[in-house]
Amino acid sequence: MTAAPPTPGPGPAVGAAGGTGVAAPAAIDARDVHVTLGGRPIVRGVDLQVPPGQVLALLGANGSGKSTLVRALLGVVPLTSGSVHLLGAPLGPRVPWQQVGYVPQRMAAGGGVPTTALEVVTSGLLHGRRLLPPRDRRARAHAALETLGVGHLLHRRVQELSGGQQQRVLIARALVRHPRLLVLDEPTSGIDLPTQETFVRTVATLRDTGATVLVILHEIGPFAPLIDRAVVLRHGRVVHDGAPPAARDEHGTAEHDHTHPHADPAPPSEGPDLTLGVAP
């Protein structure tokens, strides 16, 4: 893909709030981000500013640094240098983590402790300033699971669920808090097409409320109608920032040339579970 100059970033604040002229902070404002893991540079000088309400696809080949960049933006892996602000606050305890939803590629090992789908999704509400009453927490968790078509698994242990079912539970856990910033790492991996389409409609509804969405994808697929902007990484650097690539046609000939149908290798450390809103 021919490299294109980055879309001009909004800086620390973009847009007007309520017509008052007061600028709304960028949902993500990352400046000159570098990440080195195991002595090897993975992310190299990335600048990324994402305004409120934008749906941005992060694309790139296997090993290009997509997942590492996202995890660095969320504080799961440390920055070697550079700076990150989320929802107007510097990365750290000042970030309103209860307004950030994160869906990782896979469910972390549970250490053998039985956990139901209801308990996993309810845990997405644990870091708000005020906990809902137990009945309301249960109702919201059940509704989120129903949205993803797995409400009937409410009391099933997640260890007994298929990979696709576990992924839907993780998505429900991120959505239950109605986040202002939703970060998704290959969210539709292992999920059938009808469920993918249901999830995309749910994300569209969230977007329509003003939420910002950053999603790692290998294939644009059903997300195509939602994507406002695409950023492509290659060897840890941004090589394209602008219009998303054309979706693959029925013969598979029109997709971008930098993707492969394989997930990025797992980073060396899982780090804190940002689906629960744990600040580093």
Q: pLDDT for 33-71, tens place per residue?
A: 999 999 999 999 999 999 999 999 999 988 899 999 999
Please tell me whether residue 118 adopts helix, strand or coil conformation. Answer: helix
Whether the CB-CB separation of 80 and 40 falls below 8 Å is answered with no
Return the CATH number of the domain spanning residue range 48-106+115-126+134-242: 3.40.50.300
Of residues 191 and 3, the one with the higher pLDDT is 191
Q: Where are the alpha helices (DSSP H) in 25-179?
A: 66-73, 117-122, 134-147, 163-175
CA contacts within 13 A on the Cβ side of 23: 11
Window from 99-103, 223-227, 266-270 with minimum mean pLDDT:
266-270
- Cα separations in angstroms, 157 against 113, 134, 176, 272: 10, 20, 19, 22
Q: Cβ of 156: how many Cβ atoms within 10 Å?
A: 15
- Is the pTM above the cut of 0.85? no
How far the first Cα of the chain sits from its last, in Å, is 36
Distance in angstroms (rounded) separating the CA atoms of residues 66 and 51: 19
pLDDT of residue 129: 59
